[in-house]
């Protein structure tokens, strides 16, 4: 009974299975130069993206390519799927959540048609950046990760 009000432990997990890489290796200066904030990226092995942390979906882009999450403690996180994927105007992206939804760490948020989008020439590297509220240097190296694997 007393465990009902226990605060959830803060953690950041890999949003998708694949190859974890530093933001500096992302082929887009907005991310590689950390203009939007520090974080990490994963080159996905599949087409399902989960929440890298728990919070509220403050923004779910109508195109489905990006989600903004804010934690109860004010940490802001952006999950951006792919490079230049906003050009697709939602084609191949299927959001599983909507703006205002509460999301739990590891919960699926977006599915995307990986093979079809790659055939169109899109790189689907998925970036996780923290524009405010989380002052942490991400030095996670390069390695294979599974979706929901704890990174921080």
d(CA 80, CA 118): 16
Tokens of 47: 């087409």
Q: How many helices (DSSP H) and strands (DSSP E) are in the chain?
A: 2, 11
Which residues are designated catalytic?
Answer: 80
Beta carbons within 8 Å of 133's beta carbon, 6+ residues apart: 70, 71, 73, 74, 75, 76
């Amino acid at each position: 009974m007393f465990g009902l009000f226990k605060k959830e432990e803060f953690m950041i997990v890999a949003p998708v299975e694949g190859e974890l890489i530093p933001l500096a290796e992302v082929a887009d200066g907005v991310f590689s130069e950390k203009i939007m904030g520090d974080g990490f990226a994963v080159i996905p092995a599949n087409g399902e993206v989960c929440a890298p942390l728990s919070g509220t979906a403050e923004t779910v882009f109508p195109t489905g390519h990006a989600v903004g999450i804010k934690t109860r403690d004010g940490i802001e996180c952006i999950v951006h799927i792919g490079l230049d994927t906003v050009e697709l105007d939602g084609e191949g992206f299927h959001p599983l959540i909507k703006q205002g939804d509460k999301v739990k760490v590891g919960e699926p948020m977006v599915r995307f048609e990986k093979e079809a989008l790659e055939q169109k020439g899109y790189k689907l590297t998925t970036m996780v950046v923290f524009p405010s509220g989380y002052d942490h240097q991400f030095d996670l190296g390069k390695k294979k990760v599974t979706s929901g694997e704890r990174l921080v």
